[in-house]
Amino acid sequence: MSSSENSRKESDRHNPKSSLISLISRPEIGPIGVMILLFGMLGYFSIPASETTWNPFAGEGFNALGIRNNLRVISQLGIIALGAGLLIIAGEFDLSIGSMIGFAGACMAMTLRWGFSIVLPYISFDGGTHLEFYTLLHIPNVTPTLAIFITLCFTLTFGWVQGFIIVRSGLPSFIVTLGGLFFLRGLTEVSLRSFNHRPDQAKGATTVTEIPDIKNIINLPGYGEMEREAAKYLPETDLISIVKNLPSDVIAKISERLEYTAQRVAEAKTDLLIAKGVKPLEKALENAIASDNEFMIKTIQEKIENFKIDPVIPKSITEVDIARAYIDTIGSARPIADFFGGNILETIFDWLYFPIDWNVNNFGNQFAPGLYSCVMIWVILSLVCYIVLSKTQVGNWIYSTGGNLSAAQANGVPTNKVKISLFMFSAFCATLFATCQVFEVNTSDAAKGNLKELEAIAAAVIGGIVMTGGFGTVLGIIVGAFIFGLAKEAFFYIPGIDGSFYRVFLGFVIIASALLNENIRKRIMGNI
Amino acid sequence: MTVPNSNPLIETKELVKKFGSFTALNGVSLKVYPGEVHALLGDNGAGKSTLIKALSGVHQPTSGKILVEGKETKFNSPRDASEVGIGTVYQDLALNSLTSVTRNFFLGRELKFGNGPFGILKMKKMHNIAIEEMAKIGIKIEDPEQPVGTMSGGQRQTLAIARAIYFGAKVLILDEPTSALGQKQQMEVLKTIKKVQQLGNIAIILITHNEIHARLIADRYTFISLGEVIGSGSSKDLEGDDIRRLMAGGAEVGDLAKELA
């Protein structure tokens, strides 16, 4: 053996990579590329047809309302994709997420609407044999916190049961959670129908409506708790007396803002009137040019040039307006409902309207009030998941449970507990999704969350999660949710393209990402 | 390298294991000393696997005793065995190819800040320990973040051995460590075993089929056939032909040569 052969070690074959190479060979790089491509598409294609300048932020997809709506879709998907993704990393998957969303939403809405009771059924023989119910406990007015807690008790139990069956029986999670999918959806519909027999609900409907707008209940000084809308339409004398009690600097601030809005609205109205007046003239001009009537062309051109309209006078600000604007600024008296269903970053979006002069709709009003709360919940959940998966002991357990189950067991990892906890976590994510939805829209429907389980799995796969387990990152899941949500929205902003093309596109992306993931996995698995 | 004056680290006395009517082990006695490689040789189905499973707590013996450092011990689970310092490196090595060297090294026994499974990992410290421990038995790892799947078979074996030693193995049971490896990597693993032997305080039980490998590193041999010890001795006492004969379960290779002729 020559010395040169001797000095070469096995470790020399593993070339340390430069930081740039290791950055671009990260598994998330492909999905991030697709995400940037989609951003570009959304920007480019959403430019109005008449515009000739290339400005990606001029499109409708990137105005304030577009950002608000897109981020809502993305973050809702992101929340359940985290649950689905972590479970796939541990080698199992959950098809019951969508039904769990429907179930959790219905459970929460029903407790908010009708209260919560525990009843014992028994057979009564008085006046013929029939079933009677003994009420053990009845809570008529359920607070949002209690509703969330009750719902979590149910959903986490379902998650635990599914996980328990899977780890104890060794059945594939596909079958067990498929059972869960049908079971939960059916249970939701059955319970909604059986509860909807009150005179105030359509019998047999699978929806819950007329839940008060809980997140907008405010504590108006001197009037107690009431809904914001009801407060705004108090008798005008009451409203004026509210203003009288306000400090003068608050009044000055509110009236400055209202004057700005009134000015913007007036300008928008003027523009609208001009457009309305000029449009018929322009049409006539076209006709005149077509018929080559020089005299007509000249007169119409003159008319257009001299077209004038009196600018709309801004609406004057009354004390009632100030009172209503003040009511809008009062914080919610139900912080938990507001946390899940309210808006975030309201100050920033306010600032973007006044004084930045963006975030304005066609009628001169503020366009988007802020981002949906579910964005914040997604961000918090992602951070927690990131820390847990890559920085804690549990993270290592999750990876090893999915990567090599027998190795994990041989090293004392409680793999069954890991799996059951992750089934419960995916149920928890579905509950979060439903909570945000219920408190946003104040209704619930048995069909909510339909097919969401597949969307969540798709987002996870696009983000680089390998279906066989053991491989993937939280950053990947986040990017996957971005891609899925953006594609879903972006195609609707492209004029002249059928919106359903987003499914064609996603189908392609899913298969491409799965191939890519498999390739990366094989490269890492080496010769095993 | 025999250490005649020291006491055996692990000893079995008349170990019997029956599976129903089948006798897998029929009174096996064995002494393994610290700093020694004890080769356990025998044909397929001879009872080697049953013996090491009894020693590592997977099976409970029907009768007979296991003594660890002179004290009689009973194992109800693999955990019990690893707590008294018996580390078993199975053929599949119990490694997760998809994660890094460090994550595998500390799998299930991670170092962390705070209590409970949500404790934050002490990644830096674990990286350093993993590199150090593997260097002690002769493999230098450049990148502790490297996925185990990209390592060679020999490196993986070293990782599994280093892990067992670091977590307090006094008796190291190696189940066919050289099978399914290339020639060069087999040598690498043998070198690793030699290094462990030189540490001096660890008793190694080496299960192998390969007589050449056994001759290269073993200090003492025990031959098992049909659940019984059919021969044992130190490397000085035994000749190559003896080993070959005993490995084949006592049959004369000469007889085989005649039969084949």
Collapsed DSSP state (helix, strand, coil) of residue A159: helix
pLDDT digits (tens, 9 = 90+) for A84-135: 999 999 999 899 999 999 999 999 999 998 888 888 888 888 878 888 888 8
Q: Which pLDDT score, from 0 to 100, does residue B5 have?
A: 55
Flag the least confident range among A155-159, A520-524, B50-54, B225-229: A520-524
Residue type, B199: L
Range 1-60 of B in CB contact (< 8 A) with A: none
Find the residue in B nearest to A399 (Cα): B99
End-to-end CA distance of chain A: 29
CB-closest option in B99, B142, B155 to A403 = B99
pLDDT digits (tens, 9 = 90+) for B28-40: 888 888 888 888 8
Q: Which pairing describes strands B37-42 and B203-208: parallel, antiparallel, or unpaired?
A: parallel
CB-closest option in A9, A399, A528 to B149 = A528
The pLDDT of residue A171 is above 90: yes
The pLDDT of residue A440 is above 60: yes
User: If DSSP states are collapsed to H, E and C, what string results for B78-139?
Assistant: HHHHHHCCEEEECCCCCCCCCCEHHHHHCCCCCCEECCCCCCEECHHHHHHHHHHHHHHCCC
The pLDDT of residue A437 is above 80: yes
Task: Report ipTM (2 d.p.).
Answer: 0.82
**What single-letter DSSP state applies at residue B9?**
S
Contacts of A120 (CB under 8 A, 6+ apart): A133, A134, A135, A136
A interface test, pick of B86, B96, B163, B175 with most A CB neighbours within 10 Å: B96
CA distance B250 to chain A (A): 35
The pLDDT of residue A523 is above 50: yes
Contact A121, A132 (CB under 8 A): yes
Read off the pLDDT band of A528 (50, 70, 90): very low
Task: Say yes or no for a CB contact (<8 Å) between B94 and A412.
Answer: no
Q: Which long-range contacts (CB under 8 A, 24 or more apart) does A111-116 make?
A: A111/A142, A111/A146, A111/A147, A111/A150, A111/A151, A112/A142, A112/A144, A112/A147, A112/A211, A112/A214, A112/A438, A113/A208, A113/A210, A113/A211, A114/A195, A114/A198, A115/A139, A115/A140, A115/A141, A115/A142, A116/A142, A116/A146, A116/A147, A116/A150
**Most confident range, picked from A206-215, A349-358, B3-12:** A206-215
The mean predicted confidence, pLDDT, of chain A is: 84
| Fold entry, domain A28-43+57-209+373-525 | ABC transporter involved in vitamin B12 uptake, BtuC (1.10.3470)
Flag the least confident range among A42-51, A273-282, A489-498: A42-51
Find the residue in A nearest to B101 (Cα): A396
- Only one residue has tokens 């961000």, namely A379
- CA-based nearest residue to A217, from A300, A314, A112: A112
Task: Say yes or no for a CB contact (<8 Å) between B108 and A408.
Answer: yes
The secondary element (H helix, E strand) that includes residue A482 is helix A474-493
The secondary element (H helix, E strand) that includes residue B208 is strand B203-208
CA distance B140 to chain A (A): 7
The mean predicted confidence, pLDDT, of chain B is: 82
CA distance A113 to chain B (A): 37
Collapsed DSSP state (helix, strand, coil) of residue B27: strand
Collapsed DSSP state (helix, strand, coil) of residue A405: helix
Hey, is the C-beta of A392 within 8 angstroms of any chain B C-beta? yes
Q: For B39-54, what is the mean pLDDT?
A: 83
Q: Which pLDDT score, from 0 to 100, does residue A438 have?
A: 93
CA distance B64 to chain A (A): 26
The secondary element (H helix, E strand) that includes residue B228 is strand B228-234
- In percent, the amount of chain A with pLDDT more than 70 equals 88
**What single-letter DSSP state applies at residue A18?**
P
CA distance B35 to chain A (A): 25
Read off the pLDDT band of B2 (50, 70, 90): very low
Domains recognised in chain B with CATH numbers: 10-95+154-260 (3.40.50.300)
Q: Which pLDDT score, from 0 to 100, does residue A1 have?
A: 39
Read off the pLDDT band of A291 (50, 70, 90): confident
Hey, is the C-beta of B106 within 8 angstroms of any chain A C-beta? yes
pLDDT digits (tens, 9 = 90+) for B127-163: 999 998 888 887 888 888 888 888 888 888 888 888 8
Preceding omega of A355 cis (within 30 degrees of 0): yes
Q: Which pLDDT score, from 0 to 100, does residue B256 have?
A: 61
Hey, is the C-beta of B96 within 8 angstroms of any chain A C-beta? yes
CA distance B157 to chain A (A): 13
Find the residue in B nearest to A472 (Cα): B98
- CA-based nearest residue to A215, from A373, A64, A416, A51: A373
The pLDDT of residue A11 is above 80: no
Contacts of B256 (CB under 8 A, 6+ apart): B248
Chain B neighbors of A387, CB-CB under 8 A: 120
Contact A296, A288 (CB under 8 A): yes
Chain A neighbors of B108, CB-CB under 8 A: 397, 400, 408, 411-413
- Only one residue has tokens 């993931």, namely A517
Q: Which pLDDT score, from 0 to 100, does residue A495 have?
A: 65
Chain B neighbors of A471, CB-CB under 8 A: 98
CA distance A399 to chain B (A): 7
Collapsed DSSP state (helix, strand, coil) of residue A115: coil
CB-closest option in B90, B93, B142 to A14 = B142
Hey, is the C-beta of B94 within 8 angstroms of any chain A C-beta? yes
User: If DSSP states are collapsed to H, E and C, what string results for A424-476?
Assistant: HHHHHHHHHHHHHHHHHHCCEECCCCCCHHHHHHHHHHHCCCCCCCCCCCHHH
Q: For B100-123, what is the mean pLDDT?
A: 89
The pLDDT of residue A211 is above 60: yes
Task: Say yes or no for a CB contact (<8 Å) between B108 and A521.
Answer: no
Q: Where are the domains of chain A?
A: 28-43+57-209+373-525
CB-closest option in A14, A392, A400 to B96 = A400
Determine how many CB atoms are found less than 10 A away from the CB of residue A318. 15
CB-closest option in B95, B110, B152 to A10 = B152
Flag the least confident range among A103-117, A155-169, A194-208, B82-96: A194-208
The pLDDT of residue A2 is above 60: no
Q: Which pLDDT score, from 0 to 100, does residue A158 have?
A: 96
Chain A neighbors of B117, CB-CB under 8 A: 392-394, 397
Q: Which pLDDT score, from 0 to 100, does residue B241 have?
A: 67
pLDDT digits (tens, 9 = 90+) for A295-319: 888 888 888 887 777 888 888 888 8
Contact B45, B19 (CB under 8 A): no
The pLDDT of residue B240 is above 90: no
